[in-house]
């Protein structure tokens, strides 16, 4: 349970094109059905769609591109933005944020905990695109492992594009990294499943 009626912070994490923005938009829609008030933090660098950790794993030197200081700037900016939201809104239920791939997740966590949240308060939803399992296993193993480990829930998305077996394989991959992690299987081009909606909106953080 979050202290002082603070809004819950929900992070939508996942690799390029996995469905983070789609999920964020669906969550906003769902929140309005539940009459909950959301603030959305949008990350301009994220909009460019470059994920420097992925790029680095693939052998590109992205530090040259971004000068290496983007994460620090972002950390300060994120902290200031959250604090601003907390100071100026006393009726917020959720802060939704899609971090860009440029952001170091640990720096993001630090920015959020500096605003008075416990790390365990952060609702980090990892969105997993099962159409790309082979690519993740081949090129992004460590990054995938770290991302699942940091997440609270996994959403296996795009189930309309893969077989049931593939969906199960994705869920098993997540569970083998973080035993017991809850997975929700979805086609985010449709609605959020009611089970997931209730989980996110109805249930307080335990
Ligand atoms: N078939 C199918 N397509 C989906 C689903 N969810 C999202 N998409 C599509 O996948 C593409 C990428 O979705 P986004 O929500 O932009 O993904 P993202 O993770 O925000 O992408 P980046 O921010 O660029 O990393 C879009 O064309 C979506 O319409 C799904 O469940 N099924
Ligand atoms: Mg996006």
The domains found in the chain, sorted by start residue, are 3-202 (3.40.50.300)
Q: Residue of the nearest CA to atom 2 in ligand 1?
A: 158
Q: Which is higher by pLDDT, 5 or 193? A: 193
C-alpha distances out from residue 124 to 74, 88, 112, 139, 158, Å: 18, 24, 12, 23, 19
pLDDT at 183: 96
Could you identify the atom of ligand 1 that is nearest to the CA of residue 18?
Answer: 19
Q: Which is higher by pLDDT, 172 or 65? A: 172
- Are 52 and 62 within 8 A, CB to CB? yes
Residue 51 above 70 pLDDT? no
User: In the numeric block, which tokens belong to residue 111?
Assistant: 């920015």
Distance (angstroms) between ligand 1 centre and the Cα of 168 equals 20
Nearest-angstrom CA–CA distance, 108 and 104: 6
Ligand 1 pocket test, pick from 13, 15, 19 with the greatest ligand atom count within 8 Å of Cβ, gives 19
pLDDT at 61: 40
Task: Report percent pLDDT > 70 for the chain.
Answer: 78
Residue that the structure tokens 């912070």 belong to? 9
Residue that the structure tokens 């609605």 belong to? 191
pLDDT band at residue 45 under the 50/70/90 scheme: very low
- Are 157 and 187 within 8 A, CB to CB? yes
Nearest to 11 by CA among 109, 130, 133, 77: 109
Residue 60 above 70 pLDDT? no
Ligand 1 pocket test, pick from 15, 17, 154 with the greatest ligand atom count within 8 Å of Cβ, gives 17
pLDDT at 121: 92
């Amino acid at each position: 349970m979050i202290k002082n009626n603070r809004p819950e912070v929900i992070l939508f994490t996942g690799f390029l094109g996995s469905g983070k923005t789609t999920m964020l938009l669906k969550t906003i829609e769902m929140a309005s059905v539940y009459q909950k008030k959301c603030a959305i933090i949008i990350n301009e660098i994220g909009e460019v769609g470059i994920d420097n950790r992925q790029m680095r794993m693939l052998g590109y030197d992205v530090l040259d591109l971004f000068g290496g200081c983007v994460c620090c700037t972002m950390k300060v900016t994120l902290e200031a933005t959250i604090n601003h939201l907390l100071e100026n809104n006393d009726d917020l239920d959720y802060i939704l944020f899609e971090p860009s791939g440029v952001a170091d997740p640990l720096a993001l966590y630090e920015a959020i905990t500096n605003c008075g949240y416990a790390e365990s308060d952060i609702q980090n939803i990892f969105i997993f695109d099962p159409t790309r399992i082979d690519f993740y296993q081949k090129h992004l193993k460590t990054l995938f492992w770290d991302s699942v480990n940091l997440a609270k829930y996994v959403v296996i998305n795009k189930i309309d594009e893969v077989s049931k077996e593939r969906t199960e394989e994705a869920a098993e991959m997540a569970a083998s990294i973080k035993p017991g992690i809850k997975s929700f299987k979805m086609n985010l081009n449709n609605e959020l499943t009611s089970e997931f909606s209730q989980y996110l909106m109805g249930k307080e953080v335990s």
